[in-house]
Structure 1
């Protein structure tokens, strides 16, 4: 499904020679063109692919924290034009950067766009990088380009959800730092938002519920694997379509695809504190059908269906036995074994004193 951009503007944040952060603000929106649509699409796709997103909502604490919220509300109500709103947002961000003493600069992009059935506001601080190319006269030329594939400082507001359910705690999403408090947190602070809905905990609860449901139904190994794959495929499709997991629909998938008799929806409604709908976490969902682990210079991943057949685990010796290696891995091992063998022969020849053995 395509993204349709409705508004977009850019502002530039840079430190001068005295170390003071300045914001050069654009006075008008960028006209929507094919290149603008492509830029927004690229940013949207990159953002959708991020697995470390968290969710938040607008807090109601203090005058400062409500400056962005007030400006957004006025823009949505038609009391403030998009350019003025974006300029107020830029001012809020600059003030927050100064308060946190973060040395962040770049291009501030503010854009409204539509995807599937929802309207979104995207706020991102992008890096404006230099690149060198060769022109038609075979001369080097330096140009600027925005890096869209490595965005980290970005937040997105689901305007449709905000309007429909202002009391929700997940209409804002952002890319969360992996360890501790990260620079990305100031995106929450400048918008006056608080972290709310824990999508990862919901997904972990779902994975646990699926496994325990299979146990309660006393399913054989093959049936358990089928249920896991149905769950994985359903979640993968929801991620692709930009839709939440719906527990009722997932239960229906079990009944129609896996031919289950018991109701999964009734099962999770009894003992699990799961929302009716929540976003799927791509990283966690993948673990439904795969065993994944890394450490000590090793990274191992394989489909769960192979355990007990082509892959066997011995708990006593803590070893995996793999039968039937992937072709590309086998060729690498054979090539390296041959090279090691050749090096061994060369080493023996070098130790020879040159005399005949008789």
Structure 2
């Protein structure tokens, strides 16, 4: 992924002292290390829980100011503002947020990258961790490293989608576990408004899939294969930071009838967008239940719980509403 521009601004926050900005005056020169850092940063970012949306505008809640970042970016893309000035303005607004909500400062990495026809602006506040290295004399020496896993605040903007004006989910940003005030403050800094609930959309998609499998009355093996295909496709999209496309997913689930699942969604009117940002946490919860005790072995896909299979917690029993045909035949043979 070619890097068009890159820069690091440092926000220092020594113990007991106020946060202060050490702004860079020049972009970073190209290097193999910077390319490798971008690759690691993308993987770490895609693994994070995120909000998806767009820049605030006149259609959003009354009283919400339009995004100043949107205007600054427009000037940058029109070459009325350089990358140093653009990112320094972002860092200046970020410093008070660090001062108010974070125990330590970090390095604000800003990247303008292009991949094929897509172009992205990526922002990430990275902290440091103490590590070790072996120098040329084979001696162990302390080494201070960027901690990509500890990414307090980060955002990614699809510049092409934003400029095209046909999407409301071109901007994503991390949901920090540090507190609601920090998350809201970062969204305000970006001038962001949520355009889609990734967790809710993913849950609705999985519900639509469960309904589809039940309606088709698929054998257990076919049901398992389609479940695995869905999770594999959705997880791959999440790893790449790409949305789940309903038409593409439908083709993955059934090559013989590539429109079957897509038509099911549209005919049942689940209200899903054509492209859904995958929520990794929700996907990970869509699993297979299994257990064995006293000569009884039971396993079933989690999407069947509450429909074909019910758990009666009070009486500690499972109720199977649709007995598999093969098992039904065996039971009748013993009757």
TM-score (norm 1): 0.72
Superposition map of 1:1-358 within 5 A = 3-15=1-13, 19-50=17-48, 52-60=49-57, 66-97=67-98, 100=100, 102-115=102-115, 117-133=117-133, 135-136=135-136, 141-165=141-165, 168-177=167-176, 181=180, 183-256=182-255, 263-270=260-267, 271-291=269-289, 304=301, 316-317=315-316
Distance 1:138 1:217, change over 3 A: closer
Contact 1:119–1:159 (Cα < 8 Å) also in 2: yes
Aligned-partner Cα distance in 2 for 1:130–1:120: 30
Q: Deviation string for 1:195-254 (max 9, x for gaps)? A: 231111111111111111122223333332233223223323433554322222222333
Contact 1:68–1:92 (Cα < 8 Å) also in 2: no
- My pick for the range that moved more, 126-135 or 154-163, is 126-135
Aligned-partner Cα distance in 1 for 2:207–2:180: 28
Q: CA deviation at 1:72?
A: 1.5
Contact 1:53–1:176 (Cα < 8 Å) also in 2: yes
Bigger radius of gyration: 1
Determine the structure 2 residue equivalent to 1:354: none
Contact 2:19–2:96 (Cα < 8 Å) also in 1: no
Distance 1:124 1:185, change over 3 A: farther
Which sections of structure 2, spanning at least 5 residues, go unmatched? 291-298, 305-309, 319-335
